[in-house]
Amino acid sequence: MSELLANLWMGFQVAGHPYNILFCLLGALVGTLVGVLPGIGTVATIAMLLPITFGLPPVGALIMLAGIYYGAQYGGSTTSVLVNIPGEATSVITCLDGHQMARQGRAGPALAIAAIGSFFAGCVATVLVAALGAPLTSLALLFGPAEYFSLMCLGLIFAVVLAKGSVIKAVAMVVTGLLLSMVGSDLETGAGRMTFDIAELADGIGFANIAMGLFGFAEIIRNLELPAESRDIVKSKITGLMPTRQDLIDSAGAIARGTVLGSLVGILPGGGAVIASFAAYTFEKKISKDPSRFGRGAIEGVAAPESANNAAAQTSFIPLLTLGIPPNAVMALMVGAMTIHGIVPGPQVMTKQPELFWGMIASMWLGNLMLVVINLPLVGVWVTLLRVPYRLLYPSIIVFCCIGIYSINNSPFDVVIAAIFGVVGFWLVKHDFEPAPLTLGFVLGPLMEENLRRAMLIARGDATVFFTRPISSALLITAIILLIVAALPKMRRRRDEVFVE
Amino acid sequence: MSEGVTPSPKGTLGGLPLKTHNLVGGLIMIAIAAVLLAYAIWTPNALVPRILSGAVVLIGIAVAAGVVPVHGPRDFYGGLMLVLLATLALTASAELPGQRGFAFGPGTAPRLFSILLAALGAAVALGGVFAEGAPIEKYKVRGPALVIVSILAFAGMIRPLGLVPATFLAFMISILGSTEMRWIESLVAAALMTLFCVLLFVYLLNLPFQLWPRFY
């Protein structure tokens, strides 16, 4: 315990350095700014802003990225409340009650409770990350290649179960992602695989390009198909930011429950903030004395999902920092950012670069605090930004993304790849395939293949090794059970219900 | 994404009469599969992809001729495309050395996952043949096409022309995709955005960009 406190103290010293506070503030600010724009989710925001962190020292860059992450999430909920267009997937559910509150002239309290809930969830999750970091890291030392492979299988299955729509289509997307990740030079022999003799493909397809194409460009293309929008921005001036005492009492329980739920879901590989917010909302509605209030401006309907998605966003750092496995697309981008700065994510980060590990954890807390501080006064700015018509907004987003992608490697080819994946993403949506499992498959692909090959080599070609080693077999059996349960007709209906709501 | 999920009235799919729809879809499948078949025949050692793409050509012919009734075109064509993607991957990795003794070769994993993907794609497509499912949503061409063109134009212009012209022109091309575009407003916005990007990326972030065309 005292060790934990000492570590956290060290973290706060790192994060509290004036420069790092500045980076954190800047990150949270820019993240919110981009996150507020309708139609740009967290993944696209981070992919877009990745280049601006290149010039910083590693600790500063990661702190800034973490700030961008929370900012983007919070920005999304601001858009939900004010315009009824979710800025991103995690805040879809916030639209339901948040926008109703705004229409009743209570946009201020809705935003404030979202910020307060997020902050509380952030505090709890920060402690959780710090507390679970060390034990999980020592668990990671017990893991051999077979265990890693099985763990990643489990993570991918989680992603499939948590994606909406057909299970078999989600599995197909995971496999597509795995296959795409194999483009480029083979890790062991250096042989070019599926490169079609294109020199630029020898290094593989960059994850940022895929993410930008699938989540940024595809979304814009899709929005362009919709008829000219009539945006329902809250016209009335936002007065009275602070929630009343009654609001606070009403939402306290919801915030606490949302935090617990979000923290749990966030740790699961393949889980994530989206499902956390849906689950928290459904749960609140179930236990409420008067469920009919939901959808008509119930403050719990804002507090619970917002706390849950923030808690999940934060605890999803745990698998990354301890096991080196990114549990979702955002964390995959974090891996990319870490690699650029020469840090290999995994158990060794904590022992070899403690100031980075703990500095980042402390900055998570600071980042959440910043959000409370900067966002409430800046609501007016966000409203102005939301008034910019989409016809001017989308070309700006496109050129900004183009410059961003180009600047990562100074490569025009990367921009072309992103354009191709924009079309692919558009096509996927048309045929009801989910892009999220694809990205996770793509991210875990190289790690999975490497561990699979190593495990097979160590076991001298005996494929049963995955079932004879206890931890590995437990993980795989869990994965199989999950998959079967999700494919059962009864569960399928339940899943559909959750997503329809 | 709830739009388009309602089953279509009998006889029309995605706004087109059933027969035309199948004809168009079938022909597209035949065209793509034929190209892949040619590639697979040209590549040595690619027996499995030859069979797969050949099979898709036959399926395409059957669909275009109206022999196979497609009840869920969205899943049917989606699944077939995944089969074709797997075929492409199989062909492209056909010449890589496979397993030697206990060790995986570079080609083992790609082939493993390609075959898995082909199986999954086939399962999705089969679901589309038998189960009544959603039609394909209509594609609008103009907006999406202009956005893609503008991104490709940026990629083509950034090296020879520099940041300022590339940004400005890419902005202008993509804004043409909007149905409510106004010239003066757009030009002003493009200029402002270009200025903003130059200030941010070049002066604030110090990234090495060439601003203007280089004259030798």
Q: Which residues of A touch B163 (CB under 8 A)?
A: 403
The number of distinct structural domains making up chain A is: 1
Residue B179 belongs to a domain: yes
Instruction: Note whether B73 and B116 are same-domain residues.
Output: yes
Chain-centroid distance of CA A284 in Å reads 23
Is residue A125 within 8 A of residue A2, CB to CB? The reply is no
Nearest to B137 among A224, A402, A430 (CB): A430
CB contact under 8 A, A432 and B1: yes
B64/chain A closest Cα distance in angstroms: 20
Q: Same structural domain for residues B116 and B172?
A: no
Backbone dihedral region for residue A165 (phi beyond 0: left; psi -120 to 50: alpha; all else: beta): left
**Burial class of residue B37 in the structure, from the number of CB atoms within 10 Å of its CB (0-12 exposed, 13-18 middle, 19+ buried):** buried
Contact between residue B93 and residue B103 where contact means Cβ atoms under 8 Å apart:
no
CA–CA gap between residue A422 and residue A158 (Å, rounded): 25
Supply the range of the domain harboring residue A118: 2-225+235-500
A197 CB neighbour count, 10 Å cutoff? 7
B205 reaches A (C-beta below 8 A)? yes
pLDDT for B84: 93
SS (H, E, C) B109-125: HHHHHHHHHHHHHHHHH
Contact A168 B96 (CB under 8 A): no
Residue of B nearest to A408 (CA): B207
Residues of A in contact with B174 (CB under 8 A): 394-395, 398-399
Say yes or no: B1 contacts chain A, CB-CB below 8 A. yes
Among B29, B23, B24, B88, which residue's Cα sits nearest to residue B56?
B29
CB contact under 8 A, A175 and B201: no
Per-residue pLDDT reduced to its tens digit, B32-56: 999 999 988 888 888 888 999 999 9
- Average model confidence (pLDDT) across chain B: 82
Least confident span in A72-86, A114-128, B82-96, B176-190? A72-86
Q: Which of A176, A406, A459 sits opposite B158 (nearest CB)?
A: A406
Give the pair of three-digit tokens for residue A74: 């919070």
| Whole-number Å distance between alpha carbons of A486 and A479 | 11
Cβ distance B193 to A395 less than 8 Å, yes or no, reads yes
Query: Measured between alpha carbons, how far is B208 from B206 in angstroms, rounded to an integer?
Result: 6
Residue B119 pLDDT greater than 90, yes or no = yes
Assign A501 to helix, strand or coil: coil
Residues in chain A where the model's pLDDT stays below 70 = 1, 39, 85-90, 163-164, 227-241, 269-273, 489-501
**Token pair in block for residue A501:** 């709501």
Residue among B117, B127, B155 whose CB faces A176 most closely:
B117
Q: CB-based burial of residue B50 (10 Å sphere; 0-12 exposed, 13-18 middle, 19+ buried)?
A: buried
Residues B150 and B118 in one domain: no
pLDDT in tens, A401-418: 898 888 888 889 999 999
| End-to-end Cα, chain B, rounded Å | 52
Length of chain A as a residue count: 501
A163 phi and psi angles, rounded to 5 deg: -75, 155
Indicate whether B34 and B74 sit together in one domain: yes
Rounded to 5°, angle at Cα A283 from A277 and A286:
145
**Rg of the Cα atoms in chain B:** 24
Closest to A126 measured CA to CA, from A366, A351, A325: A366
Cα A118 versus chain centre, distance = 15
Q: Choose one of B130, B165, B182: the last residue of a domain.
A: B130
A441: closest chain B residue by CA: B113
- What's the pLDDT score for residue B148? 93
Contacting B residues, span 82-111, partner chain A, CB-CB under 8 Å: 82, 85-86, 89, 92-93, 96-97, 101-107, 109-110
Please give the pLDDT value at position A492.
61
Per the structure block, which two tokens stand in for A446? 């190289």
Distance, CA of B61 to CA of B64 (rounded, Å): 5
CA distance B58 to chain A (A): 22
Q: Which of B96, B130, B164 is the last residue of a domain?
A: B130
Q: Do A172 and B136 touch (CB under 8 A)?
A: no
B152 in the same domain as B101:
no
Cβ–Cβ < 8 Å for A115, A108: no
Looking at the complex, does the CB of residue B195 fall below 8 Å from at least one CB of chain A?
no
Long-range contacts of B173-176 (CB under 8 A, 24+ apart): B173/B146, B173/B149, B174/A394, B174/A395, B174/A398, B174/A399, B174/B146, B174/B147, B174/B150, B175/A391, B175/A392, B175/A395, B176/B146
Q: Inter-chain contact B139–A430, Cβ cutoff 8 Å?
A: yes
B6 lies in some domain: no
**Overall size of chain B counted in residues:** 216
User: A376-396 burial, b if ≥16 CB within 10 A, otherwise e?
Assistant: eebbeebbebbeeebbbbbbb
- For residue A449, what is the nearest residue in chain B, using CA coordinates? B109
Q: How far apart are CA B197 and CA B163, in angstroms?
A: 9
Query: What is the domain range of residue B48?
Result: 12-130
What is the per-residue pLDDT for B152? 95
Residues of B in contact with A392 (CB under 8 A): 175, 185-186, 189
Residues B125 and B62 in one domain: yes
> Which residues of chain B does A388 touch, with a Cβ-Cβ cutoff of 8 Å?
none
| Cβ contact, residue pair A398, B156, below 8 Å | no
β-pairing, B12-13 with B16-17?
antiparallel
pLDDT band at B5 (very low <50, low <70, confident <90, very high): very low
For residues B63 and B83, membership in a common domain is answered with yes
The tokens describing B150, both together, are 């503008």
Element (H, E) at B86: helix B73-92
Identify which of A327, A314, A187 has the alpha carbon closest to the alpha carbon of residue B106.
A187
pLDDT for A454-487, tens place per residue? 888 888 877 788 888 888 898 899 889 888 887 7
Measured between alpha carbons, how far is A90 from A306 in angstroms, rounded to an integer? 8
Give contacts of B104 with chain A, Cβ < 8 Å: 452-453, 456-457
CB atoms within 10 A of CB A174: 30
Three-state SS string across A56-91, please?
Answer: CCHHHHHHHHHHHHHHHHHHHHHHHHHHCCCCCHHH
The rounded distance, in Å, linking the Cα atoms of A468 and A462 is 10
State the angle between helix axes of A354-387 and A107-142 in degrees (0 to 180), rounded to the nearest 10: 150
pTM of the model: 0.84
- Collect all residues of chain A within an 8 Å Cβ-Cβ radius of residue B166: 402
* Structural domain includes residue B216: no
- Considering only CB atoms, A415 lies closest to which of B74, B113, B154, namely B154
Question: Does one domain contain both B109 and B71?
Answer: yes
- pLDDT, position B15: 47
Q: Which of B29, B104, B187, B194 to mutate to test the interface with A (most CBs of A within 10 A)?
A: B104
Q: Cα separation of A497 and A330, whole Å? A: 26
Share of chain B above pLDDT 70, in %: 88
CA A425 – CA A419 distance, rounded (Å): 10
Residue B32 inside a domain? The answer is: yes
- Angstrom distance (rounded) from CA A128 to CA A313: 12
Residues B41/B91, Cβ–Cβ less than 8 Å: no
Residues B124 and B72 in one domain: yes
How far away is chain A from the Cα of B171, in angstroms, using its nearest Cα? 5
A120–chain B nearest CA distance, Å = 33
Kindly give the pairing relationship between strand A192-193 and strand B12-13.
unpaired
Query: Chain B residue closest to A401 (CA)?
Result: B151
Per the rule left: phi > 0, alpha: psi between -120 and 50, beta: everything else, B14 is left
DSSP 3-state of A193: strand
Residues 6 or more apart whose CB falls under 8 angstroms from that of A475 comprise A147, A150, A151, A153, A154
Query: Do the Cβ atoms of A179 and B114 come within 8 Å?
Result: yes
Those residues whose C-beta lies under 8 Å from the C-beta of residue A83, and which sit 6 or more positions away, are A38, A99, A231, A232, A233, A234, A386
Q: CB pairs below 8 Å between A and B: how many?
A: 201
* A230 occurs within a structural domain: no
In the predicted structure, residue B79 carries a pLDDT above the cut 50: yes
Burial (CB count within 10 angstroms: exposed 0-12, middle 13-18, buried 19+), residue B214: exposed
Shared-domain flag, residues B44 and B105: yes
The reply to whether B76 falls in a domain is: yes
Alpha carbons A252 and A272: distance in angstroms, whole number:
23
Q: ipTM score here?
A: 0.87
Decide if B151 and A193 are in contact by the 8 Å CB cutoff.
no
Quote the minimal CA–CA distance from B67 to chain A in Å. 23
Nearest CA in chain B to A463: B102
> How far is A328 from A90, CA to CA, in rounded Å?
13
Rounded distance between C-alpha atoms, residue A108 and residue A116, angstroms: 12
Band of residue B8 on the pLDDT scale cut at 50, 70, 90: very low
CB atoms under 10 Å from CB of A13, counted, come to 14
Nearest to A3 by CA among A365, A358, A345, A348: A358
Give me the residue label for tokens 């289509």.
A169
Question: Cα–Cα distance between B211 and B215 in angstroms, integer?
Answer: 12
Mark whether B192 and B92 lie in a shared domain.
Answer: no
Least reliable range by pLDDT among B51-55, B94-98, B107-111: B94-98
Total structural domains in chain B?
2
Min Cα–Cα distance to chain B from A305, Å:
21
Helix residue ranges per DSSP H, A18-57: 18-36, 42-49
Same domain, B124 and B34: yes
Token pair, residue A393, equals 């907004």
Tell me if B211 is assigned to some domain. no
Nearest to A63 by CA among A15, A29, A121: A15
**Does B29 contact A at CB distance below 8 Å?**
no
